[in-house]
Amino acid sequence: DLEAWAVLHVSQEHAADVDAACRALVKSLGGGGWLTHAVGDAIDTRAICLIRETLARHSGLADFAFAMQGLGSGAISLAGSDALKARYLPRVARGEAIAAFALSEPDAGSDVAALACTARADGEQYVLDGVKTWISNGGIADFYVVFARDAGMRPDSQSAGEAPRSRGISAFVVDADRPGLDASQRIELMAPHPMATLSFTNCRIPATQRIGAAGEGFKVAMRTLDVFRT
């Protein structure tokens, strides 16, 4: 029973070191088996809501830690290759890897289709350049699911149901230790949880780190939000 577990494992005191507290909560939630509800092929949104409601009664940070493991890895659960799922999802479910969802930009918050971060194909790699901001778990995440405008997509390419400016966006998994990724610019909040601005400068990742087909990133982002923002 989650309520009984939370009484024993979730402190209601405000943490002096928010990063350390968040890491500890993720590890504890994973050890308790609760993160399995936020990861995988069959995610139950109702269960997500009930778990978040219970955790939030005890600690806003505990609710955040649980929700971000799901949101940060959700694109992989929904549209990732078998190799990406095998590499990341078991560690997320065990609380051994912290996930983050990198969609918003300084000029592309609610208007997601306005994003300007780019991904350029270069042989067997992609090169990412641009800025993401208001990224929860920024600075402590082990990997980021990043949405970028795919420079290789034709300007007139568009899938059914997409608005014109949402075309050509692809999704990628970027490990936090990749050269060219800087997550050191932290953002202070009134309700403290880890948040940062991410900068990508000639950040190279293997092409196999792309989630889904090229240009399907907008759909992947919306599917992920449909599950975890209820």
* Sequential DSSP letters for 107-155: TBSS-GGG---EEEEETTEEEEEEEEEEEETTTT-SEEEEEEEETTS-T
How far is Cα 115 from Cα 42, in angstroms, rounded to an integer? Answer: 30
- What's the mean pLDDT when you consider all of the chain? 92
Largest CA-CA distance found in the chain, in angstroms, rounded = 56
Express each pLDDT in 73-88 by its tens digit: 999 999 999 999 999 9
- Whether 27 shows a pLDDT value over 90: the answer reads yes
Express each pLDDT in 117-175 by its tens digit: 999 999 999 999 999 999 999 999 999 999 999 987 754 444 444 444 567 999 999 99
How far is Cα 43 from Cα 70, in angstroms, rounded to an integer? Answer: 9
Phi, psi of 193 (to 5 degrees): -155, 160
How far is Cα 99 from Cα 30, in angstroms, rounded to an integer? Answer: 13
How far is Cα 115 from Cα 31, in angstroms, rounded to an integer? Answer: 37
pLDDT of residue 154: 56
pLDDT of residue 106: 92
pLDDT of residue 42: 86
Neighbours of 204 (CB within 10 A): 15
Query: What is the rounded average pLDDT of the residues 14-23?
Result: 91
Query: What is the rounded average pLDDT of the residues 188-208?
Result: 95
- Whether 20 shows a pLDDT value over 90: the answer reads yes
The two structure tokens encoding residue 188: 């202070």
